[in-house]
Structure 1
Amino acid sequence: MPDSGEAQPVKGSNQGDSQVRVYAVAPRENADPDEIVDGFLEAMTSDDPGFATARKYLTKQAAQTWKPEQSITVLTTAPNRDQADRNADPENQGRAYPLSGRKIATVDARHAYQPISPANYLQTIHVVQQPSGNGKGGKEWRIDSLPPGLVLGEADFLRNYRSVNKYYFASGEDWVVADPVYIRQRQDPVTRMDPVTQTVKALLEGPTNWLKPAVDSSFPSGTELKKGVTTLTTDDQSTLKVPLNAKADQVGGQPCRRMAAQLLFTLGDLTSVRVEQVELQKASGQPLCRLGKGQAAEFAAVRNTDGDESPYFVDEQHKLMTLDVGDKGANAPTEVPGPLGKGPTRLRSVAVDRGETRAAGVGETGRDLFVSSITTEQELPPAILSSKAAKPTDRLSAPSWDGRGDLWVADRDPAAPQLWMVPDGIGTPVKVRTPWLEDDARIESLRVSADGVRIALVVTRDGDTTLQIGRVQRQTSGEEPVVSVLDLQPAAPRMESVTAVSWAGPSRLVVVGREAGGVQQIRYLQTDGSTSATAVLPGLNGVTSVAAPHEDTAPVVADSGNDGIVRLAPGANWQPVVKTGTSPVYPG
């Protein structure tokens, strides 16, 4: 503790407590303009129905045009309200109050979170005097001009909103893709809907604009909840009955089952309700179809989650090995059958397909990509792909499998940088269209999601190494398949440098990186770039790669340099597993 020096004011922690509730207070009579602005900023953080109290701080015209549901601007802390310039509006005798802060994200009308690198935020709230409405004459200060939507500090945003995954089908496929959005923690002030109903409404509104080109919804266009529905609750059989409007009245059979599956996956994220079965209903109340959790499992992107997930790694002899990292401790690594485990080829990096029958390995020099069985002994097939780069570090990245069995790898050759996709791991390699892979951009590493619709890329450009999420689009019409990775968006904009990444479920990532002026950290991030204060994992030095399971029941594993391969079991700290080894991976 310091025993000398001046006391200095500091801003409070950003950690939002979802149990704390803010109740809006109406402006007092004859409130001065400072109080009006401060009271309005506080009222924006409340759950007041319709934001009715917040609107009392506005002029009649401003109250009618203000749309808090239109957007949310998220700042690092609550907006700073500076003193008004009394000379800024001498004609109307109004006052303009500058609002400032550091903007880190926006949330649009579709509930999609869009992070940005922290940037200065500067807007203005303008107040004027208007006739008092108390019948006593006189005038009162009210706000007549303000920024659009809500403006919240990160702590207030996380207290009022929570992330949920909506689910849609990968275009033309029969498995679902997670689409994270933010809904209110409690009743929505504008729609008066509870969180379950908000979530269903968000699903019916369709995918976010970024994901929309790569997914389909089984709900007919225009499908909404039956008018007037603001609460959805399960019965004593944990069945949720969802009444829809007439747009869905003619749906039946498999399309209805797919609609129900989208609902079941979406509601599975809500801890406030336990849904074992959904029943879709016509506008008349008649049932359309029912589907249970067990039946919906056939639409999952990863369908073998009942078995234990085991990680793999490259040992000190550069051979593929598997690890046993169960709860009772780590056993000795096991040699993997096949030429990548027992053969003479020395490996630099590996990836195991999600069915755990094949592995892809990049040779020790980084030049060649091989694919082989890991269940049977065989000769090593010829290389599927080779790089012509002069330096090993400029050659092939570590490979990655998606859930449909396609294999991905980047060639980092400065003379011809390219992202490749190998259909089914054995087909003719396809050049992926990457219009952004230019201007000195380089793919350091990649990981493809289980659904095959999103790809996490560690990209270096102009000396900065950042984490980007790209949307995978496939075109099957024509003789040659056309695959593109488009619309890269930042997934860790507050990290100055990113070292490694791994998928950790349908829409979550484990990221190793460093914020400006900080030390290396490992943390969970949503694919939309959002996070929470509790997402940081215990510290670990010198991490060069990380691997996370699809389910939380298995430990995270990492290559920690001097400590070798280590594991982090749920609720525990890092523990050593293998002293010498590299490239730890889970299937995928």
Structure 2
Amino acid sequence: MGADPRRNGQAGIRRASALLGCSGVLLAGCASMPDSGDVHAVKASQRADSQVRVYAVPPRKDATPDEIVTGFLEAMTSDDTNFDTARSYLTPEASEKWQPEESTTVLASAPDPGVPVPGRRDNPGMSYPLLGRHIATVDAQHAYQPVTPSEYRRTIHLSQKAGPDGKQWRIDSLPAGLLLGASDFERNYRSVNKYYFASGRDVVVADPVYIRQRQDPVTRMDPVTQAVKALLEGPTSWLKPVVESRFPTGTEMKLKDGATSLSFDDRNGLKVPLDDKASNVGRTQCMKMAAQIMFTIKDLSAARLEQVELLRSNGSQLCVMSAGQAEGYAPDHSSGRPDNQYFVDSKRRLALLAAGATEAGEPQNVAGPFGDGRLALDAVGVARDEHKAAVVAGDFSRLYVASIVSDSRLPDPVITSAGKGPDNGLTAPSWDGRGDLWVADRDPDGPALKRLPNGSDAPEEVRIVPGLDGARIQAVRVSADGARIALLLTEGGSTTLKIGRVERHGDSDDPVVTVTELRPAAPQMETVTAVSWAGPSRLVVVGKEAGGVQQVRYIQTDGSTVPKGILPGLNQVKSVAASDDESQPLVAYSQEDGIVRLPAGANWQTLVKEGTAPVYPG
């Protein structure tokens, strides 16, 4: 069969628009241009470089339906003000209804216009199917929601409308919001953590959202101002039940007339003017409001942010917070020092590698019954203050808690499981920032997720809502803020990763704790072997995609991928651990290489040839 001339025409439009769009030749489509260097043609599905800029080009006179559809799809990928050029492909009525900011549908690659279907007498014009593979949606709250990859098929309809230049083809019906391929989405958007306070606690929790890389086409705000605006709008729906904002409800920025951006002063401070709703808050509340802004934008500025100053609606100062003061609200500040790395040595004792050490040498065993050989350890979890640890022993059937800084007797087990072995006994334990200890019992006859308040009180079963529907917990990792939990769940021969909210209701001294609304965190992976928290909203996982090989990679807790998140190859990885401090190196256990570490900018380095179960505190 011969090539489809209609598709060849579309490809020609995309290539030509990149080369000629800014030289006065008006073609349907957009020119893709870097901020510096040579102009070169790229297809929409190939734009992954955040430095590439897309400049929208309006439709030429008498543009064909193919050109209109292709040009509109390209124009949606631009930073054009209010998407004005994209709107020029629409009828006035369709343009008025179209709200690109309400949602973004993300496809694996750029949407493909299918073969057009001529209209009928009762509905003249042309209909084009838009085809692709749906992988995620970003809602009006900027929250990324991955979906199980599935076929995307929607319809875009064109009709001829009379105008000054005669009848012209325009789009009169289209899907809601923006429609972008993954590479265009990554080029246009970036992940940012908003921060709110854990309910009832003065500890911040990350709430990841996506904002525009450069100016927002609708608001014209830069990324810093976009992030503050998103913060003031409140937490995303998924996280809202377990966090609180210290800003009075409805608080907004009060920018000067015509201004669209906040600015930094010469001391790397940021002034944020607020409206009347915040003008009368007390100093304590104001400082917590400033802390939320400090954490939210600290990674958006090229220079280190030194302070945040909040202003009343009349321009007077409400409060000032320094970067150092804000750290008092961080969820990972409990130890006050860099985390040590721990592992189970060749004699199944708990050993540590001091923070900052360049090589392990002879392992240094901890004090007490977990380091002197009285107990053969299977798995371990070290409390975040590094004063005590929880270990699983007895072929994964018993859980013990004891000091690791002083000698003591071997305590009685705090949990005993009827199941045994690495698949049916207890999971490795995990400590949250509240000092509570979590573990799952994988006994086939009585599986349960359990929490030990304060790490020493009687274990309580934690209900998961809705239930697991036959899936079994294989691993448990709780976030430092205690508001979220990562679970590896096995069902039907594969293990997937899900994130749940940790909700506490009733008496604050004796709450009823549930894990609620589990959502996929690594939908692109067919199976996940190991997981660890690696920062406020980032995880490091070991797993593989369908038909792929094992990878160690970073992902966001919302299920989105981290740019350049795939780490150097490592074979037969069984466990991985990361610190809440993202500057600390990863550690992992490989059946081939033993305990290994990945310093920044380097490859994996063997620390201990004989050892298993590496962990950071947590």
Question: TM-score higher than 0.5 here?
Answer: yes
Task: Report the Cα offset of residue 416 of structure 1.
Answer: 1.4
**Structure 1 residue 527 corresponds to structure 2 residue 557:** yes
8 Å Cα contact 1:511-1:522 kept in structure 2: yes
8 Å Cα contact 1:324-1:331 kept in structure 2: no
**Structure 1 residue 178 corresponds to structure 2 residue 206:** yes
**Structure 1 residue 201 corresponds to structure 2 residue 201:** no
8 Å Cα contact 2:542-2:552 kept in structure 1: yes
Task: Report the Cα offset of residue 469 of structure 1.
Answer: 0.4
8 Å Cα contact 1:371-1:384 kept in structure 2: yes
* Paired residue type of 2:393: G
2:368 is aligned to: 338
* Paired residue type of 1:130: K
Once the two structures are superposed, residues 141-197 of structure 1 have per-residue CA deviations (whole angstroms, 9 ceiling, x without a partner) of 000000100000010001000001000000000110000000001110001111111
2:176 is aligned to: 148
Tell me: CA distance 1:305–1:22, structure 2 relative to 1, closer, same or farther (3 Å): farther
8 Å Cα contact 1:103-1:119 kept in structure 2: yes
1:470 is aligned to: 500
Alpha-carbon separation, structure 1, partners of 2:472 and 2:448: 9
Question: Pairwise mapping of residues 149-168 of structure 1 onto structure 2 (< 5 A)?
Answer: 149-168=177-196
* 1:433 counterpart (449, 456, 463): 463
Alpha-carbon separation, structure 1, partners of 2:383 and 2:510: 24
Aligned with 1:566: secondary structure?
A: strand
1:25 is aligned to: 57
1:253 is aligned to: 283
Tell me: CA distance 1:190–1:273, structure 2 relative to 1, closer, same or farther (3 Å): farther
Tell me: CA distance 1:483–1:14, structure 2 relative to 1, closer, same or farther (3 Å): farther
Alpha-carbon separation, structure 2, partners of 1:449 and 1:94: 54
1:61 is aligned to: 93
**Structure 1 residue 243 corresponds to structure 2 residue 273:** yes
1:99 is aligned to: 130
8 Å Cα contact 1:371-1:426 kept in structure 2: yes
Task: Report the Cα offset of residue 562 of structure 1.
Answer: 2.2
Aligned with 1:471: secondary structure?
A: strand
1:82 is aligned to: 114
Task: Report the Cα offset of residue 91 of structure 1.
Answer: 3.5
TM-score, normalised with respect to structure 2: 0.91
Task: Report the Cα offset of residue 360 of structure 1.
Answer: 0.4
TM-score, normalised with respect to structure 1: 0.95
* 1:122 counterpart (133, 142, 153): 153
* 1:169 counterpart (193, 197, 201): 197
Alpha-carbon separation, structure 2, partners of 1:255 and 1:568: 41
Alpha-carbon separation, structure 2, partners of 1:366 and 1:516: 30
Alpha-carbon separation, structure 2, partners of 1:550 and 1:378: 29
8 Å Cα contact 2:136-2:147 kept in structure 1: yes
1:319 is aligned to: 349
Deviates more, 1:270-279 or 1:56-65: 270-279
1:496 is aligned to: 526
Tell me: CA distance 1:477–1:369, structure 2 relative to 1, closer, same or farther (3 Å): same
8 Å Cα contact 2:338-2:355 kept in structure 1: no
8 Å Cα contact 2:341-2:615 kept in structure 1: yes
Alpha-carbon separation, structure 2, partners of 1:475 and 1:320: 36
Alpha-carbon separation, structure 2, partners of 1:464 and 1:475: 33
Tell me: CA distance 1:267–1:528, structure 2 relative to 1, closer, same or farther (3 Å): same
Question: Pairwise mapping of residues 380-419 of structure 1 onto structure 2 (< 5 A)?
Answer: 380-389=410-419, 393-419=423-449
**Structure 1 residue 219 corresponds to structure 2 residue 250:** no
2:577 is aligned to: 547
Task: Report the Cα offset of residue 393 of structure 1.
Answer: 2.5
Tell me: CA distance 1:14–1:31, structure 2 relative to 1, closer, same or farther (3 Å): closer
Task: Report the Cα offset of residue 390 of structure 1.
Answer: 5.3
Aligned with 1:331: secondary structure?
A: coil
Alpha-carbon separation, structure 2, partners of 1:273 and 1:81: 44
Task: Report the Cα offset of residue 239 of structure 1.
Answer: 1.4
Alpha-carbon separation, structure 1, partners of 2:469 and 2:48: 40
1:46 is aligned to: 78
Alpha-carbon separation, structure 1, partners of 2:303 and 2:178: 28
Alpha-carbon separation, structure 2, partners of 1:369 and 1:279: 48
Question: Pairwise mapping of residues 219-368 of structure 1 onto structure 2 (< 5 A)?
Answer: 219-226=247-254, 228=257, 229-272=259-302, 274-303=304-333, 307-324=337-354, 326=356, 328-368=358-398
* 1:112 counterpart (143, 151, 159): 143
8 Å Cα contact 1:430-1:481 kept in structure 2: no
Task: Report the Cα offset of residue 32 of structure 1.
Answer: 0.7
* Paired residue type of 1:28: R
Once the two structures are superposed, residues 319-362 of structure 1 have per-residue CA deviations (whole angstroms, 9 ceiling, x without a partner) of 11112474744433211111111141111000001111010000
Alpha-carbon separation, structure 1, partners of 2:443 and 2:466: 16
Task: Report the Cα offset of residue 42 of structure 1.
Answer: 0.3
Once the two structures are superposed, residues 110-145 of structure 1 have per-residue CA deviations (whole angstroms, 9 ceiling, x without a partner) of 00000112111001110000002x2x4x20000000
Alpha-carbon separation, structure 2, partners of 1:234 and 1:333: 48
Task: Report the Cα offset of residue 409 of structure 1.
Answer: 0.2
Alpha-carbon separation, structure 2, partners of 1:24 and 1:305: 52
* 2:105 counterpart (73, 82, 86): 73
Task: Report the Cα offset of residue 391 of structure 1.
Answer: 5.0
* 2:615 counterpart (572, 578, 585): 585
Task: Report the Cα offset of residue 52 of structure 1.
Answer: 0.5
* Paired residue type of 1:121: Y
Larger RCO, structures 1/2 (Cα 8 Å, 6+ apart):
1
* Paired residue type of 1:377: D
Aligned with 1:28: secondary structure?
A: coil
Alpha-carbon separation, structure 2, partners of 1:507 and 1:380: 37
Q: CA RMSD in A?
A: 1.8
Task: Report the Cα offset of residue 382 of structure 1.
Answer: 1.1
Tell me: CA distance 1:258–1:12, structure 2 relative to 1, closer, same or farther (3 Å): closer
1:6 is aligned to: none
Deviates more, 1:344-353 or 1:328-337: 328-337
Task: Report the Cα offset of residue 47 of structure 1.
Answer: 0.2
Alpha-carbon separation, structure 2, partners of 1:532 and 1:438: 28
Once the two structures are superposed, residues 62-82 of structure 1 have per-residue CA deviations (whole angstroms, 9 ceiling, x without a partner) of 000100000000011100111
Task: Report the Cα offset of residue 307 of structure 1.
Answer: 2.7
Q: Percent identity?
A: 58
Once the two structures are superposed, residues 540-579 of structure 1 have per-residue CA deviations (whole angstroms, 9 ceiling, x without a partner) of 1100100012223321111111211111111000111111
Alpha-carbon separation, structure 2, partners of 1:392 and 1:328: 32
Alpha-carbon separation, structure 1, partners of 2:303 and 2:229: 16
